[in-house]
Amino acid sequence: MQYLPNLFFALALIFGIGFFVMNVRKLIRNINLGKDIDRSDNKSQRWKNMAMIALGQSKMIKRPFAGFLHIVVYVGFVIINIEVLEIIIDGLFGTHRVFQPILGNNLYAFLIGTFEILAALVFVSVIIFWLRRNLANIKRFLSKEMKGWPKNDGNFILYFEMVLMSLFIIMNATDIPFQEAGIGNPISQFVAPWFSDFSTETIHTIEKTAWWIHILGILVFLNYLYYSKHLHILLAFPNTFYANINPKGQFDNLESVTNEVKLMMDPSADPYAAPAEGAEETVPEKFGASDVTDLNWVQLMNSYTCTECGRCTSSCPANLTGKELSPRNIMMKTRDRLEEVGNNIDANGGSFKDDGKQLLNDYITPEELWACTSCNACVEECPIGIDPLSIITDMRRYLVMEESAAPQELNMMMTNIENNGAPWQYNQQDRLNWKDEE
């Protein structure tokens, strides 16, 4: 019987981590529904970007107040994991504060003391975050895409963190030998007196309960990630690594189009020629993107990485002037559709069954797509290297090249380029008239 808690702990751990791994596999499967894109070049630059942007949070601090609070919560989260390791060992082997004798009192006191201070700072930061999100009337938290789940999700995360940090402090405060030793308890020593009227037994029960809820809470939180914008704590790393490192103005030149254009411009090519003997029958490629499977895996990973912070949307000139486009919403809708496609595959034994829906029209409207000025403000703003513009561009390509569904004025502009070599209807022979006009 005495091993029952250890057994229960081991089961909770296996179940918690197992369920998480299952969801991560689904996540990877979904991301791989996207087309391949080669982002294996310039490894050193990519590692550097990941170190600076994801690990070093260099872009978060562009907005200093939120950036500073975020760093507090982030550092707290990363460092407190050492404590989680101790909890796991204690839980599995029935030990208590197993690191204390190993590290020696001084180092242990230093570590736990640091965790306590961080926990308190995280607690305060999270409360400020909650106030900002719910009471401070910050426009980017009030957009229409931030109703319902996205709003609740943001708050749930904050509640989770408040509770986990409180439990950590309570757990330390009610550990009588730990308090009596008077080491590493810079915060919990002020909480300990709250419990001084209780019997030793009750205090011990409170400690055990706090300990259990803390670790079970962490496991639940771990599994909450997959369903939440909080997934960014993991995906920010690969996302910054695989982010576009070309100049932002450089759009990719579609290779499938290059082949067609070369064929058109090659005077010796026979358009009616039968495919060479033995040549593969290739399915004509679809130009641009109308659904998530037409996007590449980096774009799909982007959608899962999006933290819905709205920095993109709050700097988008179209959005700032009241137009339908919101780059954040482009990412959120891409993720929603990708989830839907993933669930469809799961429900249909591993293959997608046509559901009569697609990303274009059912999620993202042409009106949003045509409002984009391709100014790259959203890309510049994103603290973790998401590129909403590339999705907008690929969807415009589908609208134009597959459906000829550009706004009429753009069709005229394109006709002019085709006929006169300029977006306006002028004669190409008049190109140099300006030199003689004063």
Selected from 240, 290, 315, 326, the binder of other proteins by CB under 8 A is 315
| φ, ψ dihedrals at 364, nearest 5° | -110, 130
DSSP 354: -
Residue 66 CB, nearest approach to other proteins (Å): 15
Is residue 39 close enough to count as binding other proteins by CB under 8 A?
A: no
Q: Which residues, 276 to 305, sit near other proteins by CB under 8 A? A: 287-288
Query: Which of 220, 131, 128 has the alpha carbon at shortest distance from 167?
Result: 220
Q: What is the Cα–Cα distance from 7 to 10, expressed in whole angstroms? A: 5
Residue 274 CB, nearest approach to other proteins (Å): 24
Selected from 278, 322, 349, 356, the binder of other proteins by CB under 8 A is 322
> How many alpha carbons lie under 13 Å from residue 351 in its C-beta half-sphere?
1
Strand, coil or helix: what is 294? helix
Is residue 67 close enough to count as binding other proteins by CB under 8 A?
A: no
Is residue 333 close enough to count as binding other proteins by CB under 8 A?
A: no
Residue pair 344/267 in contact (Cβ under 8 Å)? The answer is: no
For residue 241 the two structure tokens come to 């690594």
Residue 364 CB, nearest approach to other proteins (Å): 14
Selected from 81, 155, 205, 246, the binder of other proteins by CB under 8 A is 246
**Interface segment toward other proteins; rule CB under 8 A; list 187-195, 231-239, 254-262, 350-358:** 254-262
**Interface segment toward other proteins; rule CB under 8 A; list 9-17, 174-182, 214-222, 258-266:** 258-266
**Interface segment toward other proteins; rule CB under 8 A; list 17-25, 189-197, 224-232, 393-401:** 393-401
Selected from 321, 349, 351, 354, the binder of other proteins by CB under 8 A is 321
**Interface segment toward other proteins; rule CB under 8 A; list 68-76, 116-124, 341-349, 405-413:** 405-413
Give the total of residues touching other proteins (CB under 8 A): 71
Is residue 325 close enough to count as binding other proteins by CB under 8 A?
A: yes
Angle (CA) 91-97-98 rounded to 5° is: 80
Is residue 65 close enough to count as binding other proteins by CB under 8 A?
A: no
Element (H, E) at 90: helix 64-93
Is residue 22 close enough to count as binding other proteins by CB under 8 A?
A: no
* Residue 86 or 381 with smaller CB distance to other proteins: 381
Selected from 209, 293, 344, 393, the binder of other proteins by CB under 8 A is 393
Q: What is the Cα–Cα distance from 18 to 13, expressed in whole angstroms? A: 8
Residue 367 CB, nearest approach to other proteins (Å): 6
Instruction: Find all residues with CB under 8 Å of 106, minimum gap 6, and list them.
Output: 183
Residue pair 302/318 in contact (Cβ under 8 Å)? The answer is: no
**Interface mask toward other proteins for 71-90; x: CB under 8 A:** --------------------
Q: What is the Cα–Cα distance from 160 to 99, expressed in whole angstroms? A: 26
Residue 80 CB, nearest approach to other proteins (Å): 34
Query: Which of 170, 61, 153 has the alpha carbon at shortest distance from 119?
Result: 170
Is residue 267 close enough to count as binding other proteins by CB under 8 A?
A: no
| φ, ψ dihedrals at 38, nearest 5° | -90, 110
Is residue 375 close enough to count as binding other proteins by CB under 8 A?
A: yes
Is residue 370 close enough to count as binding other proteins by CB under 8 A?
A: yes
Query: Which of 216, 218, 215, 188 has the alpha carbon at shortest distance from 203?
Result: 188
Is residue 247 close enough to count as binding other proteins by CB under 8 A?
A: yes
Residue 44 CB, nearest approach to other proteins (Å): 19
Is residue 268 close enough to count as binding other proteins by CB under 8 A?
A: no
Q: What is the Cα–Cα distance from 149 to 164, expressed in whole angstroms? A: 22
Residue pair 340/357 in contact (Cβ under 8 Å)? The answer is: yes
Residue pair 121/188 in contact (Cβ under 8 Å)? The answer is: no
Query: Which of 297, 288, 198 has the alpha carbon at shortest distance from 251?
Result: 288
